[in-house]
Structure 1
Amino acid sequence: MHELLSSAQSCRFLATSGIAFEMTEVEKIEEQLARLRIAKRSTLSAEPAYLLDIDVATAAQSEGSRFVAVSCSDKSMRVYDRETLNFLREYSSRPGMLNGVRFAHACDSMVFSACSDGTVKCWDIRLATQKAAQIFSGYPSNVFISFDINRSDLIICAGTEEVEKDTFLVFWDARGVTDCAGTTKEPLGVYSESHNDDITKICFHPMEPSLVVSGSTDGLVNVFDINKDNEDDALLSTCNSDSSVSFIGWSGKDYKQIYCTTHDEGFCWWDIAQLDTEEPIMLSHVLDVRDTVCVGDDTLQYLVGGWYHEKADKLFLVGGTSAGKVHLISCGTHGLSLVGTLCGGHSATVRSFCWNLADESLLTGGEDAQLLLWKPGAVERSLAKKASMKMASSVQKRVRVHNSSLKSGKK
């Protein structure tokens, strides 16, 4: 039986009916999150690996999301059936390392991943071939560690590691990729002045195709409008997290807010709608979430990332323990609070997750090589959880230690 510990097991209504009505939707969503149970788990592959990033195909809205893609520490990308978690296909990036995985928004059979060999590769999962449908090549010495594709599927952007004091945001025209041309595309251009260390995360705006936010180990979170003619004009905002950025995202109504988590488990949240006003843009800055969120007798050891829940107009963070527990944390301008803890699923550190608004489900992947599907009130009908993997992380070998003497501003 899979236990779930929750701080949101009952709704509390205030005496004022207006406030009670306003709080009901948020409390309803938090109660739903607290009821998440394991519905499915994937079977272990022949070569177990850490599951580092997850994405769900969302193009076939009438049929629901059919596919899940996962990037793994063994330099592979695996595709699963969304409902059954049955394994479908695997693609290898050897000798390079895959970093991130994204489905095209308009075509759920096209899936992308950045690669440390200086390319972004696109695979067509309808085809029984290991050959990429299209390759987007970078410049010599580029090592891509982050990427995203914009809402209209027209532009791909990838971020590089720092090489000889250079870091780049590299852009490509993604049009024609669904034709499976099999050709190699050269970059449209680069941004080279706005970060001065590894670009760890890139995230396009969910609604505006020209807006993109980037995060770096230099501590900066930059917002760009790529419709502008040059990098200086394109840079709309520079926010400083004062730490090494591990995750970034958009939040708020019309997605006018940005947030990040850091490698030392910090959290920052900004309202960029206030850029041209006298109001402060900082909504929250928590130096160490582990010291702030009360998880009872349990521990919070790390953050994985976050997601914005549109229905509740609420931002949530995902954290956990080395034993595989998953903590769901609610974010507010007055502080952070535990919504619930998912237990009985993973047996090691959770590395990745993906929230699916369509059916209010959560996918999680970890160092135990397991991919889990959580749904409200679900009952698992499968084997018991697997033992933790005993293997050295290929990713840990790439982790760089960052001190507190971070540079601010542009180069």
Structure 2
Amino acid sequence: MEREAVSAGSINCRDWVLKLCSLDKHGLVSGLSNGKIDVIPFGQTEKHTEINAHGGAVNSVRKVDENSFCSCSNDGIVKIWDLRSPEGNNCVAAMEGVNNLPFVSLDARDTLVGAGTELKGDSHLFIWDRRRLSVPFKQFTECHQDDITEVRFHPTRRNMLLSGSTDGYVNVYDLKAEKEEDALLQVINFASVHSANFLPNDKLYTLSHMETFSVHSLIDTTTEESVESDPVDYGDIRDKWSCEYVVDLYAPGYICCGSNSTKQLRLYQFDPEKVAFDGLSTNSDYISLPGAHGDDIVRDMVIHHGVIYTGGEDGLVKIWNVSGNMLGDTSSRFFGQEAGSKSHHHHKHTQKKPIKAIEAEDGHIHHSKRHKGQDGSAKPRHHHHNHHHHHSHKSSRFMPYSRE
């Protein structure tokens, strides 16, 4: 059954809105391609605070706690902000990577902040502990051979982290391990990674820049012999989900899909306890956001107290109201559970051996991501393939435009 959202206004952020997060006490935080961060109080469309945050595009913002968030940028710096501080002085920490490598992915959990860089020589995965920011808690340099487009901490296992890259791999790590080679618990060979995250019941999903989607099982780290089960591979999900691109999956259980040609955005609700992602467009209730952001790509979505917020490449944050059942907040840390609830899983990590990678269905790794410039033209990146994919790609969420 379709429920139609009603537009309740918009905020003009004057440049591409790349990422959103919400802080209950302060409002909606939006990272922009011009290096600024806008903080928009809930219920407001007129006044908002503009922070001159970075010297390059703000590729991600993530909630740290009720009063603070972190950001990462093309300027090669990760910052932590506390909105209780006086305006203009809210940056409480700034962590630099190496060689000014742009940071393109970010996550935060408890005291840890993790961020991944673009590839220039090497790509780096940094993890900092906010209690001691002078040096990184961990720094991985051998884990990926291309841009690290995704970083996610496990919501209940403090020492588990995943990363995804345009090199086609998703890696799962044990952060208790001293050495990088010992930290690698699992390697999944998939395709150029747009998004990946942990699901309940020891699962994780992977979503590619070619709009292919799979659900994988985490290996059992309590046994010496680790047998990896085959993933549930849904292939290209654009027909199944009636869309042209997937914005992302969101806890506690939403899939946000867009179609530029029809100026539509759809929000599907799914049960994360069940691996059942086929036929969402025909078998499921969904919320439609008519008009969406017009011809422009939607980069992110937040639900806060039943209100939907979307950010797009048109420079707008749009506000949507939906009648009927209350929607769960996307600030939930765990699919299927509200933020703050505890999982009943307890695992002992004993095995540290990297396991055999799973081959992608067509036997190769895809890198055919292309990026739209500000003029709308596709700009190829530094990796190329000799084969061709005959379908369109959304511009990657972390490269707003080329500054070369």
TM above 0.5, yes or no, is yes
Q: Are residue 240 (structure 1) and residue 200 (structure 2) matched?
A: no
**Contact 1:269-1:283 within 8 A present in 2 as well:** yes
Q: Which residue does the alignment assign to 1:90? A: 50
Give the percent of matched residue pairs that are identical in Structure 1 and Structure 2.
25
Which residue of 127, 130, 149 maps to 1:174? 130
Q: Are residue 326 (structure 1) and residue 265 (structure 2) matched?
A: yes
**Given the superposition, is the C-alpha separation of residues 38 and 372 from structure 1 closer, same or farther in structure 2, using an over 3 Å criterion?**
farther
**Contact 1:40-1:84 within 8 A present in 2 as well:** no
> Could you give the per-residue CA deviations for residues 242-264 of structure 1, whole angstroms, max 9, x where no partner exists?
x21011222225xx221121111
- Structure 1: distance between partners of 2:155 and 2:173: 14
- Structure 2: distance between partners of 1:286 and 1:318: 17
- Structure 1: distance between partners of 2:144 and 2:321: 39
1:153-192 equivalence runs, <5 A? 154-164=111-121, 166-175=122-131, 185-192=134-141
**Contact 2:20-2:29 within 8 A present in 1 as well:** yes
Q: 3-state DSSP class of the match of 1:335?
A: coil
TM-score calculated relative to the size of structure 2: 0.72
1:305-324 equivalence runs, <5 A? 305-309=248-252, 315-323=253-261, 324=263
**Contact 2:12-2:315 within 8 A present in 1 as well:** yes
Aligned length: 327
**Given the superposition, is the C-alpha separation of residues 185 and 398 from structure 1 closer, same or farther in structure 2, using an over 3 Å criterion?**
farther
Q: Which residue does the alignment assign to 2:3? A: 35
**Contact 1:51-1:73 within 8 A present in 2 as well:** yes
- Structure 1: distance between partners of 2:267 and 2:82: 34
> Could you give the per-residue CA deviations for residues 273-326 of structure 1, whole angstroms, max 9, x where no partner exists?
567688764442233212433x3xxxx2111111243xxxxx542221125311
Q: Which residue does the alignment assign to 1:392? A: 374
Code of the residue aligned with 1:102 in structure 2: it is R
> Could you give the per-residue CA deviations for residues 352-397 of structure 1, whole angstroms, max 9, x where no partner exists?
33344x734432111222212334318xxxxxxxxxxxx9269975
Q: 3-state DSSP class of the match of 1:233?
A: helix
Q: Which residue does the alignment assign to 2:210? A: 264
Q: Which residue does the alignment assign to 1:351? A: 298
Code of the residue aligned with 1:325 in structure 2: it is Q
**Given the superposition, is the C-alpha separation of residues 190 and 359 from structure 1 closer, same or farther in structure 2, using an over 3 Å criterion?**
same
Q: Which residue does the alignment assign to 1:26? A: none
> Could you give the per-residue CA deviations for residues 32-69 of structure 1, whole angstroms, max 9, x where no partner exists?
xx435236333324xx2111111112xxxxxx554111
Code of the residue aligned with 2:249 in structure 1: it is G
**Contact 1:104-1:110 within 8 A present in 2 as well:** yes
- Structure 2: distance between partners of 1:148 and 1:395: 30
Cα root mean square deviation, aligned = 3.0
- Structure 2: distance between partners of 1:350 and 1:206: 29
Alpha-carbon distance, 1:188 to partner: 3.2
Code of the residue aligned with 1:194 in structure 2: it is C
Q: Are residue 123 (structure 1) and residue 89 (structure 2) matched?
A: no
Q: Which residue does the alignment assign to 1:77? A: 37
Q: Which residue does the alignment assign to 1:14? A: none
TM-score calculated relative to the size of structure 1: 0.71
- Structure 2: distance between partners of 1:281 and 1:72: 40
**Given the superposition, is the C-alpha separation of residues 143 and 44 from structure 1 closer, same or farther in structure 2, using an over 3 Å criterion?**
closer
Alpha-carbon distance, 1:90 to partner: 1.4
Code of the residue aligned with 2:256 in structure 1: it is V
**Given the superposition, is the C-alpha separation of residues 37 and 308 from structure 1 closer, same or farther in structure 2, using an over 3 Å criterion?**
same
